[in-house]
């Protein structure tokens, strides 16, 4: 059930909330086509509620040709038939609210699909009412694209359109043309989209790749990275992305979105901000009370190892200075390899899963738990002939892509497709995932699933863990000791993320109440076993 606010000072529902991400194609299929759907999510909401999370973020389910599996939207205000109908969404929303769960949906405002009616009109000629709703530019005199910008998925950010005799811009696939948010009419159209979903009763929005939404209208060339990186899989990585994203006018658009959301009460807004140095943008997008509530970066999503210094550096950027936004954190998602396959290689897989999730729940900010993390699912290996991800197919084998994190959720170990579907799924089941299925873990009191539920209860009972300050106590090697503090409550979190026992420079207080531990049952609290954690209340 959702977190109870036990503090004397009321907090908005989203502050400190645990958000559970669902990738709908891979959660539960109910119509036998091998693709998950909205009815499937509704069918499994009791499982979600049992985890003790506060809200559910549902990845795109809007009308789409699925070139990028829903992140190429052809109609922002309808449901793709593969996922169901608007009535199915309304039923899901109603059921979620009955269970005390909030619903957060994805919004993709940087680009649409080339199948969107807006783009069909825009490309007809240069004088129609939506002629400048997308980013069009004449070629250089030699016929080449207007500038040197490169797309994330490979190749130039420009595609020639014979009807307009111009190039159009796309930061991702050519089938994802860039919306021109410098145009106030485009901004208003997107505000109207947000209003449509608010009127249906959604509780929040996750804004996809937000820093890609606005660009330099002068279309200046990006400078090269110096020194140039070696062995890149895409030309995009050879540039400093100074002009093709992160334009300073973007916070002004976010203010317009926030004004709308505030009319509907406590609506949660969180931005995804990819890139190597996103901190400045994250601060601008969440500053004060006029912008978004929260943002998360890729600090952890692609990190090859879990290091104490990196954890501290990331947390230290969000210590609660006046006017600072509220952070969110994800260790895994639909785009990134699952963290249990990247981190703590020397530890037992179940211990890995428990340690990483415990850390995620103890950090200051909102934990975003990706479907399957509550089971400790590892990253799946997908053969080339089974790949669906356009980035992976284009860059094989240099980029293994996103499919390995998107495989179907295993519900029933003995079923042919683990209870996900009666038909062959759109992606194969992950290796060993049947052994981690929900039904098996339900019956095991020591399972990762039961651990996740207990961890959520511990967090829900502690205002300090939900929204308290963070204070670092001991940082040496693989030892991480910090405290969460809120109105007289102190929670001490001790993590050893290495394979060697360490001694912590902390007071061994026998009266401490141990709330949760992994691999640490010694009465000597200063000695911290390898790959262990202890969460206790002072």
Segment 365-405, tens digit of pLDDT: 999 999 999 999 999 999 999 999 988 888 887 776 799 99
Assigned domain for 484 exists:
yes
| Euclidean distance between CA atoms 229 and 235, whole angstroms | 10
Average pLDDT over residues 412-433: 97
How many other CB atoms are found less than 10 A from the CB of residue 387?
18
**Strands across the sheet containing 532-537:** 469-476, 479-486, 489-496, 532-537, 513-518
Segment 459-476, tens digit of pLDDT: 999 999 999 999 999 999
Please, which pLDDT band fits residue 297 given cuts at 50, 70 and 90? Answer: confident
* Average pLDDT of the residues of the chain: 95
Q: Which residues have a Cβ under 8 Å from the Cβ of 207 and sit 6 or more positions away?
A: 107, 109, 269, 270, 271, 272, 292
Any idea which of 269-278, 313-322, 345-354, 397-406 has the lowest mean pLDDT?
Answer: 397-406
Assigned domain for 99 exists:
no
Assigned domain for 510 exists:
yes
Assigned domain for 455 exists:
no
Query: Is the Cβ–Cβ distance between 237 and 252 less than 8 Å?
Result: no
Predicted pLDDT at 529: 94
DSSP 411: -
Segment 315-341, tens digit of pLDDT: 999 999 999 999 999 999 999 999 999
Q: How many CA atoms lie within 13 A of 327 on its CB side?
A: 24
Assigned domain for 274 exists:
no
pLDDT of 2 over the 90 cut: no
Handedness of CA 453, 457, 460, 464 (dihedral sign): negative
Assigned domain for 317 exists:
no
Predicted pLDDT at 277: 84
CATH number reported for the structural domain that contains residue 514 in this entry: 2.60.40.1180
Assigned domain for 372 exists:
no
**Burial class, 295, CB count within 10 angstroms (exposed 0-12 / middle 13-18 / buried 19+):** buried
Q: What are phi and psi of 529, to 5 degrees?
A: -65, 160
Beta strand residue intervals within 140-284, DSSP E: 158-161, 166-169, 204-207, 268-272
Q: Which residues have a Cβ under 8 Å from the Cβ of 181 and sit 6 or more positions away?
A: 109, 187, 190, 213, 214, 250, 253
Please, which pLDDT band fits residue 151 given cuts at 50, 70 and 90? Answer: very high
Residue 486: beta bridge partners? 489
Handedness of CA 107, 109, 114, 116 (dihedral sign): positive
Host domain of residue 502: 466-537
- The residues carrying an active-site annotation are 208, 272
Total structural domains within the chain: 1
Average pLDDT over residues 293-314: 94
Assigned domain for 288 exists:
no
Average pLDDT over residues 285-306: 95
Q: Which residues have a Cβ under 8 Å from the Cβ of 22 and sit 6 or more positions away?
A: 41, 48, 56, 57, 58, 59, 371
Query: Is the Cβ–Cβ distance between 503 and 526 less than 8 Å?
Result: yes
Instruction: Tell me if residue 464 falls in helix, strand or coil.
Output: helix
């Amino acid at each position: 059930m959702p977190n109870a606010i036990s503090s004397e000072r009321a907090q908005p529902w989203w502050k400190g909330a645990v958000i559970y991400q669902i990738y709908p194609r891979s959660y539960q299929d109910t119509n036998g086509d091998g693709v998950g759907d909205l009815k499937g999510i509704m069918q499994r909401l009791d499982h979600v509620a049992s985890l003790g999370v506060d809200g559910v973020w549902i990845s795109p389910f809007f009308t789409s040709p699925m070139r990028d599996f829903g992140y190429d939207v052809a109609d922002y205000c309808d449901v793709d038939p593969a996922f169901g109908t608007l009535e199915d969404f309304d039923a899901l929303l109603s059921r979620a609210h009955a269970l005390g769960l909030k619903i957060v949906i994805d919004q993709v405002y940087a680009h649409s699909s080339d199948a969107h009616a807006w783009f069909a009109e825009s490309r007809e000629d240069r004088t129609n009412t939506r002629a400048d709703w997308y980013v069009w530019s004449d070629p250089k005199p030699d016929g080449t694209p207007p500038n040197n910008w490169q797309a994330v998925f490979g190749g130039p950010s420009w595609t020639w359109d014979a009807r307009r005799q111009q190039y159009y811009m796309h930061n991702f696939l050519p089938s994802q043309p860039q919306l021109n948010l410098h145009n106030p009419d485009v901004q208003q159209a997107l505000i109207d989209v947000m209003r449509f979903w608010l009127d249906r009763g959604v509780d929040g929005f996750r804004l996809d790749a937000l820093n890609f939404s606005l660009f330099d209208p002068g279309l200046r060339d990006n400078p090269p990275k110096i020194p140039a990186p070696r062995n890149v899989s895409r030309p995009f990585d050879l540039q400093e992305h100074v002009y093709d994203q992160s334009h300073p006018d973007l916070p002004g658009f976010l203010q317009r979105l926030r004004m709308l959301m505030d009319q509907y009460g406590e609506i949660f807004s969180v931005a995804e901000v990819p890139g190597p140095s996103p901190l400045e943008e994250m601060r601008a997008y969440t500053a004060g009370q006029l912008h978004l509530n929260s943002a998360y970066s890729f600090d952890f999503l692609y990190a090859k190892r879990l290091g104490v210094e990196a954890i501290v550096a990331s947390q230290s950027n969000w210590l609660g200075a006046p006017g600072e936004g509220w952070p969110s954190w994800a260790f895994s998602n639909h785009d990134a390899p699952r963290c249990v396959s990247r981190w703590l290689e020397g530890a037992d897989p179940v211990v890995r899963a428990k340690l990483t999730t415990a850390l995620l729940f103890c950090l200051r900010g909102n934990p975003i738990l990706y479907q399957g993390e509550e089971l400790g699912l590892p990253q799946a290996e997908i053969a080339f002939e089974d790949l669906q991800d356009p980035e992976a197919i284009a860059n094989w084998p240099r980029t293994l892509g996103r499919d390995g994190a998107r495989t179907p959720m295993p519900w029933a170990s003995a079923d042919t497709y683990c209870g996900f579907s009666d038909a062959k799924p759109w992606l194969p089941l992950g290796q060993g995932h049947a052994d981690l299925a929900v039904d098996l873990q339900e019956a095991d009191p020591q399972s990762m699933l039961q651990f996740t539920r207990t961890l959520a209860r511990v967090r829900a009972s502690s205002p300090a863990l939900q929204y308290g300050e963070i204070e670092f106590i001991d940082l040496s090697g693989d030892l991480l000791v910090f405290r969460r503090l809120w109105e007289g409550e102190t929670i001490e979190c001790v993590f050893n993320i290495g394979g060697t026992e360490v001694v912590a420079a902390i007071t061994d207080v026998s009266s401490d109440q141990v709330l949760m531990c992994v691999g640490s049952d010694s009465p000597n609290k200063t000695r911290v076993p390898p790959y262990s954690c202890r969460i206790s209340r002072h």
